Each structure stands twice: as structure tokens, then as C-alpha cells.
């Protein structure tokens, strides 16, 4: 299946993943909230866990490629894993039916210790990221 990237459509899918994450978190941590506005360091704060933060990603391509795409650059500037200050990465795929939670430091270590291919991707192929096989990502 061919995937056509569209910034607004992708943004809406990302917001849907954030809302699902927040709804789930609020069952146990009612003070959790989504950081308002554009904020590239993280998406969600959980005050009950000493203000731990979560970066939420949703990739519809994973189901077709078997890889997780971890962005590191957008339009010539560092982004994604290079700029996040989050404690956790929550990564959705399989139409929001599959969630893998990885500590951000563990993800950075996985990237550093392996020779993952960096490819263009995202909206109009203006981003770069690491392709990580799903199995390796799920083991973290």
C-alpha cells in the first residue's frame, strides 16, 4: 500500500494518539496533561510521577515496512530524538492498536549502539530518521 504523507493529516493522527495516551494515563494519573501549543521537547506531563514526560508518536507506515521511524532531523534542523527531553517514548502503530513504551535514554542507547539506516521520510520527505526493526524496538 502506498502511503501519501500530508502534514495536516499526519498531525491529526498524532493528536489522536496523544489524546488516547492521555485518556489512558488519566485513569491512574488524573493530573496528567498534554503540553499546550508547539512543544518539541515532549507531549505529555505526569505530575504524579515527579513530572515525568512522554513523547507520543504514531506511525502508519510501520505496519507496511516492519520498521519504526525515529525522526532526528526536520527541514535541516535537529528534531525528534535529537531534541526531546522526554523520559519516555510512547510509539503507536497498527491503527493505534499496538503501543510500545520505551525509556528515551534506552532508545538513544539503542540508536547509538547500532548502525541503523538513516532515511528521508515524513511530510514531503523533508525529515530524516532512523529505521529500527520493530522486533528490536519492542525488546527495549
C-alpha closest to that of 101 among 44, 39, 34, 38: 44
Q: What phi and psi, each to the nearest 5 degrees, are found at residue 102? A: -135, 135
What integer pLDDT is reported at residue 96 of this predicted model? 79
Strand locations in 47-111, DSSP E?
A: 52-58, 67-74, 77-78, 88-93, 98-103
What integer pLDDT is reported at residue 115 of this predicted model? 87
In a structure prediction context, what are the per-residue pLDDT tens digits for the chain, which is 140 residues long? 444 555 555 667 788 999 999 999 999 999 999 998 888 899 999 999 999 999 999 888 888 889 999 999 998 999 999 999 999 999 998 887 889 999 999 999 999 999 898 899 876 788 999 999 998 988 87
The ranges assigned to domains in the chain are 7-139
What are the grid coordinates assigned to 86, written together? Answer: 522526554
Strand locations in the chain, DSSP E?
A: 33-34, 44-46, 52-58, 67-74, 77-78, 88-93, 98-103, 118-121, 127-133
Query: What CATH class does 7-139 carry?
Result: alpha beta
What are the grid coordinates assigned to 95, written together? Answer: 491503527
Total-model pTM: 0.87
96 within 8 A of 60, measured Cβ to Cβ: no
SS3 91: strand
SS3 43: coil
101 within 8 A of 55, measured Cβ to Cβ: no
Amino acid at each position: 500500500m502506498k502511503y501519501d504523507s500530508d502534514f495536516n493529516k499526519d498531525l491529526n493522527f498524532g493528536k489522536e494518539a496523544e489524546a488516547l495516551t492521555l485518556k489512558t494515563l488519566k485513569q491512574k494519573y488524573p493530573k496528567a496533561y498534554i503540553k499546550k501549543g508547539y512543544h518539541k521537547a515532549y507531549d505529555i506531563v505526569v505530575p504524579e510521577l515527579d513530572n515525568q514526560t512522554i513523547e507520543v508518536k504514531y506511525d502508519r507506515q510501520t505496519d507496511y515496512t516492519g520498521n519504526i521511524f525515529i525522526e532526528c532531523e526536520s527541514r535541516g534542523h535537529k528534531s525528534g530524538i535529537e531534541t526531546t527531553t522526554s523520559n519516555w517514548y510512547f510509539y503507536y502503530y497498527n491503527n493505534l492498536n499496538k503501543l510500545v513504551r520505551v525509556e528515551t535514554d534506552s532508545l538513544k542507547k539503542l540508536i547509538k549502539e547500532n548502525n541503523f539506516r538513516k532515511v528521508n521520510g515524513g511530510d514531503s520527505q523533508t525529515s530524516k530518521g532512523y529505521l529500527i526493526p520493530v522486533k528490536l524496538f519492542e525488546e527495549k
